[in-house]
Chains A and B, each alone.
Chain A
């Protein structure tokens, strides 16, 4: 696995230099007392983390809460963080745990629900619904890997570290997921195919 290179001898810098810093260094800088570093991290990842939960949960408000809980967990675990893996792996690892806990609680309360999109006549929305339903038809193990790759843009190594799977397994499952998804998306209407 490629390890993030973190240089500790760089100065904290101002907000402009913070924007160019890698994630791992930003977290270390925040731990050393610079709150702007966490703001930068929050700015970078609030949307992706929210999207992570939003694509996997039906309730947008709950997705927002869980996204916030993810950052709270990072704040509370800031003392224990060690830059052994990439920050994205660390972040999505926490998000994945929170998601699993949420799914367990949801399973006790009601049937599991996935993200929902309001039906409308907008062709983009229809395409999104089509994609969402095609993804829902995938197996859970294939779906998770596909979502992590396509939407969270994680590398194979990061997905392997996150799901504790061999990299080759991740690659083969991702290929199978894409092949299956392609088959599910084939009945796409021609006009939608043209639009996409």
Chain B
């Protein structure tokens, strides 16, 4: 189809006929179909094709041949819900089997025939029994693997709970299968008993066959029950044993486990402007003493008249931090304040564990050195390893102490800035003092200039002397040459 002549693709025409195109596009396509003969022909062909396909009719489903959908027995509906309801979804909820017509019969209903299908003996379907057997095998394997597995103490309780739930689910599933088999057997019996009179001639044959089937089902049912009961007992024993072992493990673990205490390194910094630096510093030292702290660092800068600054790193016990800060804020105008905290509990626990391991290693090495080492080379190797371990232990102990100190003492960085106050000096100095100062200054200046000349001569004299000696003779020779050329020569006549 030429796209220039047709605004719509043939597939769009088909989609329009199928109701897949709506809105303005559908309106435009409808208009186009009225105007375009080719597209209209395509639409007619597609409609005719669908009409031809209708010829392939299928007979109604045998399940709904009976019109007795209305008034469906409540019992039957409840049976369906009992069988598949979400809560307590178990076949065991079904009431005892009652007489009913065959699945497809004049008095059948939808769900009764449907349930008949569900309850149909499935002995010929070995996958049901294979599934039950697989469940039993999985149950055995899971219980054995769980018993053999080393369960982490922190996860033991959760694992036991999930394991119990899983086993309960498996047992419930096996029970459902067992009950299902029992009900299928009963339904089979009932379907034989309640057969329509038209089938009476076949009744005896079906009954005998069904009874055989029921007998087979019952034997298998009994076997499955015994197996399920045995599995239940075994699983309970295993769960009890595992529970006991895990509880004992938990009890020992709780004794040895160090409950981590929350350790936080607290820091703070204050930047303040004070009116009087001397008073502020005195107050700062007073605060430090009263709160049993110390100055890790203290630095002052600036002249007394030009606005001094004081920078200090104050360490106080962690419990005194808040009180110290509140007192420090009263020293002057607070420009900036920062507080921070870093949790080091995990680091502390890790470090303690590593330290404990290193101590154990040291102990083993010491035992090895005293008991088992014979050769000198081995002794030296063990000694070297022992020294390395001890060094590591000392380093970790230092880290641990440092960490505990950091936690027990909070750090406060204090920066005090004094307000700038220029001092106006109105009293002029005395004239005598000024004359004396001028004289002293003149004397100092003369002496400094003389000293400077001497220093210059001492410093530069050798160099000047060297160059004078070096250049003196060439200069004198050149001077003489020039003077000889410039002098007038004597006249020859005069010479004669």
Interface residues of A (CB under 8 A from B): 31, 33, 35-36, 38-39, 42-43, 46-47, 49-51, 54-55, 60, 64-65, 67-68, 71-72, 75-76, 78-79, 124, 127-128, 130-132, 135, 149-151, 155-156, 171-172, 174-175, 178, 181-182, 185, 188, 196
Q: Contact check, B77 vs A175: say whether CB atoms are below 8 A apart.
A: no
In the bound complex, do residue B111 and residue A76 qualify as a contact, i.e. CB atoms below 8 Å apart? no
Contact-residue size bin, chain B (C-beta under 8 Å from the other chain): 35 or more
Contact check, A47 vs B77: say whether CB atoms are below 8 A apart: no
Inter-chain CA distance A84–B473, complex, in Å, is: 116
Residues in B with CB closer than 8 Å to A175 are 10-11, 14
The answer to whether B52 and A50 touch across the interface, beta carbons within 8 angstroms, is: no
Query: Is the beta-carbon distance between A127 and B64 smaller than 8 angstroms?
Result: no
**A79, B46: Cα distance in complex, Å:** 42
Provide the residues of chain B in CB contact with A128, threshold 8 Å.
55-57
B118 interface hit (Cβ, 8 Å):
yes
Please tell me which one of the listed residues A60, A67, A196 contacts residue B52 in the complex, with CB atoms under 8 A apart: A196
A11 to B69, CA, bound (A): 23
Q: Are A67 and B14 in contact (CB under 8 A)?
A: no
Q: Roughly how many angstroms separate A172 CA and B15 CA in the complex, as a whole number?
A: 10
Q: How far is the CB of B406 from chain A (nearest CB, A)?
A: 54
Instruction: State whether the Cβ of B190 lies closer than 8 Å to any Cβ in chain A.
Output: no
User: What is the CB-to-nearest-CB distance from A82 to chain B, in angstroms, rounded to a whole number?
Assistant: 14
Complex CA gap A188/B283 in Å reads: 114
Minimum CB distance partner of A64 in chain B = B62
Is B339 in the interface zone, CB < 8 Å from A? no
Give every chain A residue within 8 A of B20 (Cβ-Cβ): 155-156, 171
The residue that A149 contacts in the complex, of B18, B62, B117, with Cβ under 8 A, is B18
Which of A35, A51, A130, A182 sits near B49, CB closer than 8 Å? A182
B85 neighbours in A (Cβ, 8 Å) = 33
B61 lies within 8 A of A151 (CB)? no
- When C-beta atoms are compared, the residue in chain A nearest to B15 turns out to be A171
Residue on A with the closest CB to B77?
A: A35
Residues of B within 8 A of A (CB): 10-11, 14-15, 18-20, 45-46, 48-64, 69, 72, 77-78, 80-81, 83-86, 89, 110-111, 114, 117-118
Q: Nearest CB to that of B52 among chain A residues?
A: A196
A sample of 10 inter-chain contacts (CB < 8 A) reads A43-B64, A43-B69, A54-B59, A55-B56, A75-B83, A131-B55, A135-B56, A171-B11, A175-B10, A175-B14
Give A78 to B55 CA distance when docked, in angstroms.
36
| Contact A51 to B81, CB < 8 A, known contacts A155-B20, A178-B46, A188-B52 | no
* Cα–Cα distance between A130 and B61 once the two chains are bound (Å): 23
State A60–B104 Cα separation when bound (angstroms).
15
Residues of A within 8 A of B118 (CB): 72
Known: A75-B83, A127-B55, A151-B53; 6 extra A-B contacts, CB below 8 A, are: A42-B111, A75-B80, A128-B56, A172-B11, A196-B52, A196-B55
Query: Which of A33, A49, A55 makes the CB contact (< 8 A) with B81?
Result: A33
Closest-by-CB residue of B relative to A78 is B84
Q: Beyond A42-B110, A50-B61, A50-B63, is A178–B56 a contact (Cβ under 8 Å)?
A: no
Across-interface contacts of B48 in A (CB, < 8 A): 196
Kindly list chain A residues whose C-beta atoms are within 8 Å of the C-beta of B84.
Answer: 75-76, 78
- Which residue on chain B has the smallest CB distance to residue A123? B55
Known: A43-B69, A149-B18, A174-B14. A31 touches B63 (CB 8 A): no
Contact in complex: B50, A150 (CB < 8 Å): yes
A75 to B58, CA, bound (A): 25
- Report B91 CB to chain A, min CB distance, Å: 12
B52 CB contacts on chain A under 8 angstroms: 127, 131, 185, 188, 196
Q: A42-B110, A43-B64 are in contact. Are A171 and B14 (CB under 8 A)?
A: yes
Decide if B18 touches A39 in the complex (CB within 8 Å).
Answer: no
Tell me, in angstroms, the Cα distance from A151 to B57 when the chains sit together: 9
Chain B residues positioned under 8 Å from A71 (CB to CB): 114
In the complex, A67→B51 CA distance in Å? 26
C-alpha spacing A131/B56, complex, angstroms: 7
What are the residues of chain A within 8 A of B110 when measuring CB–CB? 39, 42-43, 46
